[in-house]
Amino acid sequence: LSPSQAMQYMELIPKEMQPVAGTDGAYYRRRQLLRQLPLYDQDPSQCRGLAEGELKLMEEFVKKYKAEALGVGEVALPGQGGGGKEEGKPQDTSIAAGQPTNGALEPAPAAGHYRCESCKQAVPGDCPVVYADRAGYSRQWHPACFVCCQCSEPLVDLIYFWSSGAAWCGRHYCESLRPRCAG
């Protein structure tokens, strides 16, 4: 993105959520990082009271979700996502990927005819969007629409977990697979 497109991207995020140093938006970002990406969901050593066997299971769980679900959104103009695609990350190749929700088969959008995956509104060709490589590059979101499918909160730092055809925050993705411990 050019500097002007990066500025445009920031302007598409609600003012109170823009992570500019020293603002309410920066404080909001820090709170959301702790909420959406709890340390104990990523680092088994942060969990209290795990037995050796549980520690190994937790390490395997973290390794698996990093390989299969974790991703970081990419900001690009519509139709230009995937330029720096990481090799080896599986993309959503399910039948639903790239299909409209009414089930009709539809070819990839023609140049200049892009829609937000969340709100279904048209996206102008000069408006930055977010791509999630695990979702496939036929899908894009307005910056404010790239939210967790469970809590509807914006995905902090564009970090997402792709599962069941949707983007999740780390907290809700992990909770969907394993019960959260009380400690």
Q: What is the pLDDT of residue 104?
A: 39
- Structural domain contains residue 158: yes
Question: What is the number of domains present in the chain?
Answer: 1
Please report, for the domain that includes residue 90, its CATH number: 2.10.110.10
pLDDT digits (tens, 9 = 90+) for 58-103: 999 999 999 999 999 999 999 999 875 544 455 454 434 444 443 4
Q: What's the pLDDT band for 110 if we cut at 50, 70, 90?
A: low
145, 128 contact by CB (below 8 A): no
- Structural domain contains residue 123: yes
Q: What is the pLDDT of residue 112?
A: 58
CA dihedral (161, 152, 34, 170) in degrees, to 10, reads -20
- Structural domain contains residue 182: no
Cβ burial of 122 (10 Å; 0-12, 13-18, 19+) is middle
Q: What letter would DSSP give residue 85?
A: P
Q: What is the pLDDT of residue 100?
A: 42
What is the chain's mean pLDDT, rounded? 86
pLDDT digits (tens, 9 = 90+) for 134-144: 999 999 999 99
98, 148 contact by CB (below 8 A): no
pLDDT digits (tens, 9 = 90+) for 152-170: 999 999 999 999 999 999 9
Residue 163 belongs to domain spanning = 3-94+110-177
Structure tokens at 11: 């302007």
What pTM, to 2 d.p., does this model score?
0.82
- Structural domain contains residue 100: no
- Structural domain contains residue 102: no
- Structural domain contains residue 99: no
